[in-house]
Amino acid sequence: MKIILKALIICACLVGILTSKANPNVKTEKHQSLKPITKTEKQTIKVALLLDTSNSMDGLIDQAKAQLWEIVNELSYAKCDDVRPNLQIALYEYGNDNLNSLEGYIRQIISFSSDLDEISKALFSLTTNGGNEFCGHVIDTSVKQLNWGTDQKDLKLIFIAGNEPFTQGQVSYKDAITNALEKGVSVNTIFCGDYNQGISSYWKDGADLSKGNYMAINHNQATVHIASPYDDKILNLNKQLNQTYIAFGKSGRQKMALQEEQDNNARGYSEANAVSRTVSKSSHLYNNATWDLLDAEKEGVFNYDTFKQTDLPIELQGKSKKEIKAYLAEKRKERETIQNEIQELNLKRKTFIAEQSRNKENLLENAMIEAVKKQASLKNYQWE
């Protein structure tokens, strides 16, 4: 009898385990306020930016910091099969004597991320020093370390910028590019200097082997920011936009402070650069579902039925489900109104800037956007 009883108990436990696995609605924890964000239904533009941070590259780093938001804005207009793709950016530095020589003077600053504030922070952390620039090594490292995925419609791009021969180092650039192609990754090379010198030092050969673009830029050319009559209005709207963010969880306050810090970094270059960042913040690419309640609700991360009161900001703690929903709905309407107004003003701003005399032919921003659009067209990506 005891043996039969034990068998029945074991069977009951097995049934319970199998039922909980089969039924995702069975709760195994008392609280489950957050769940992972999954966006597998959308294509993704994945960009790994490999920047030479040796002594001669101060101008390149300055251009990257100053032009990040214009690049993001241009990518926000992309569509694939009538759907706007996600954007993930990774950042590496190489050629800096402060980095580990055993690792080829290479450092991953940030892995693939859609957190635009973190990406901005990573760029502003870069300084130059040294050094030894091993292009093949950093390409190979980024190919192996990053999660490129297997979706054939994802746009997978490496941009490597520098000014020393492409052949330096113990890792062959040809082997590195072969590894990249096996993962469907195109390598675009940006030589910082004379176009023909980049050809003779094998930067063009690297791009040709990987079906990417070869470009040469004047990395010491200062970024020109053109003010428009719409800038002040857009910057005022940025202040209003920031008031619609509702921080939650342990990192919420820190993330909101980071948002303000990157606003200040952009404005540190010029008001026009701060305007470009504000436009980025009004696009679908600026998603903060990990710490902002509005984005979390939109992405299905915030669950009204299982949230923890301690996850909420103080002003919402103790509120009913109905009250919280009403509050978020009001804030969402406010945010969308502000974002739409920013986008409308930006259209007028773009028209104004296009009418001004502006030479962008030799800048990092123009080189990257040209390459992205060319390769994106092969995968049915279009621009609005």
Query: Domain for residue 11, yes or no?
Result: no
Residue 201: give its domain's CATH number.
3.40.50.410
Same domain, 321 and 336: yes
* Amino acid present at 362: N
DSSP 85: P
Instruction: Quote the tokens at residue 102.
Output: 């055993």
Whose CA is closest to 372, among 175, 94, 159, 66? 159
Q: Rounded to an integer, what distance in angstroms lies between the CA atom of residue 98 and that of residue 92?
A: 14
Q: Is residue 2 part of a domain?
A: no
CA angle 2, 5, 11 (to 5 degrees): 140
- Is residue 16 situated within a structural domain? no
Same domain? 159 vs 208: yes
Q: Cβ–Cβ contacts within 10 Å for residue 277, how many? A: 26
| Number of domains forming the structure of the chain | 2
55: three-class secondary structure by DSSP? helix
Does residue 32 belong to any structural domain of this protein? no
CA distance 76 to 372: 12
Q: What is the pLDDT along the chain (384 residues), one digit of tens a residue?
A: 444 334 433 444 433 433 333 443 333 333 334 444 444 468 999 999 999 999 889 889 988 988 899 899 999 999 988 899 999 999 999 999 888 888 899 999 999 999 999 999 999 999 988 778 999 999 999 999 999 999 988 999 999 999 999 999 999 999 999 999 999 999 999 999 999 999 999 999 999 999 999 999 888 777 777 789 999 999 999 999 999 999 998 889 999 999 999 999 999 888 888 999 999 999 999 999 999 999 999 998 888 887 788 888 888 998 998 999 999 999 999 999 999 999 999 999 999 988 875 555 557 888 899 899 999 998 889 997
Instruction: Give this prediction's pTM.
Output: 0.84
What is the spatial distance between Cα 127 and Cα 118, in angstroms, rounded to a whole number? 17
Q: Is residue 189 located within the same domain as residue 275?
A: no
The answer on 190 and 205 residing in a single domain is yes
- 9 inside domain: no
76 shares a domain with 164: yes
Q: Does a structural domain hold residue 21? A: no
CA neighbor of 222 nearest in space, from 340, 60, 2: 60
Q: Is there a single domain that holds both residue 110 and residue 205?
A: yes
Range of the domain at 90: 44-222+359-383
- The helix (H) or strand (E) run that includes residue 11 is helix 2-22
Residues 51 and 199 in one domain: yes
